[in-house]
Structure 1
Amino acid sequence: MIAGNVAEHLGNIENIVSLTPGQYTTGSLILMVSYGAHFAFILYFLTMSFSLAPRYRIVAILSAVVMASAGLSLLREATLWQDSYAFLDGMYRPLAEGETFTNAFRYGNWTITVPLLLTQLPIAFALSRPDLHRRAIRMAIPALLMIWTGLYGQFGEIGNWTQLNVWGVISTVFFVWLIVEVRGTITAGIANSPPQLVAWPKNIWWYFLATWGLYPIAYALPQLGFTGDVVVTRQLLYSIADISSKLIYGVILSRYVLRRSALEGYAPAAEALETSPLGAKVASVRGD
Structure 2
Amino acid sequence: MSTPYANIESLVSLTDAQFHTGSLILMVSYGAHFAFILYFLWTQKDLAPRYRLVPLLSALVMASAGLSLLREFSFWLETYQWNGSLYVPAEDGTTFSNAFRYGNWTITVPILLTQLPLAFALARPEIRRRAIRMSIPALLMIWTGLVGQFGETGDFTQLNIWGLISTLFFVWLIVEVHGTIRAGKAASPAPLAEFPDKLWWYFLATWGLYPIAYALPQLGMTGDVVVVRQLLFSIADISSKLIYGVILSRYLLRRSALEGYLPAQQALGDVPATGTAGR
The more displaced of 157-166 and 204-213 is: 157-166
The structure with the largest helix share of the pair is: 1
Match of 2:26 in 1: 31
Which of 43, 51, 56 is the aligned partner of 1:48?
43
Secondary structure (helix, strand or coil) at the match of 1:50 reads helix
AA of the residue aligned to 2:208 = G
Match status 1:19 vs 2:26: no
Whole-angstrom CA distance in 1 between matches of 2:118 and 2:162: 32
Q: Provide Cα deviations, 1:207-243, integer angstroms capped at 9, x if missing partner.
A: 0000000000000000000000000000000000000
Which of 119, 123, 126 is the aligned partner of 1:128?
123
AA of the residue aligned to 1:124 = A
Q: CA deviation at 1:11?
A: 0.3
Q: CA deviation at 1:266?
A: 1.1
Secondary structure (helix, strand or coil) at the match of 2:82 reads strand
Whether the 8 Å CA contact 1:83–1:96 is kept in 2: the answer is: no
Match status 1:113 vs 2:108: yes
Whole-angstrom CA distance in 2 between matches of 1:95 and 1:139: 41
In structure 2, list runs of 5 or more residues that go unmatched. 272-279
Match of 2:55 in 1: 60
Match status 1:163 vs 2:166: no
Secondary structure (helix, strand or coil) at the match of 1:216 reads helix
In structure 1, list runs of 5 or more residues that go unmatched. 281-288
Whole-angstrom CA distance in 2 between matches of 1:131 and 1:85: 49
Match of 1:90 in 2: 85
Match of 1:247 in 2: 242
Scaled by the length of structure 2, the TM-score of the pair is 0.96
Secondary structure (helix, strand or coil) at the match of 1:126 reads coil
Match of 2:268 in 1: 273
Secondary structure (helix, strand or coil) at the match of 1:98 reads coil
Number of residue pairs aligned between Structure 1 and Structure 2: 271
- Give runs of ≥4 in structure 1 deviating > 3 Å: none
Secondary structure (helix, strand or coil) at the match of 1:86 reads strand
Q: CA deviation at 1:54?
A: 1.0
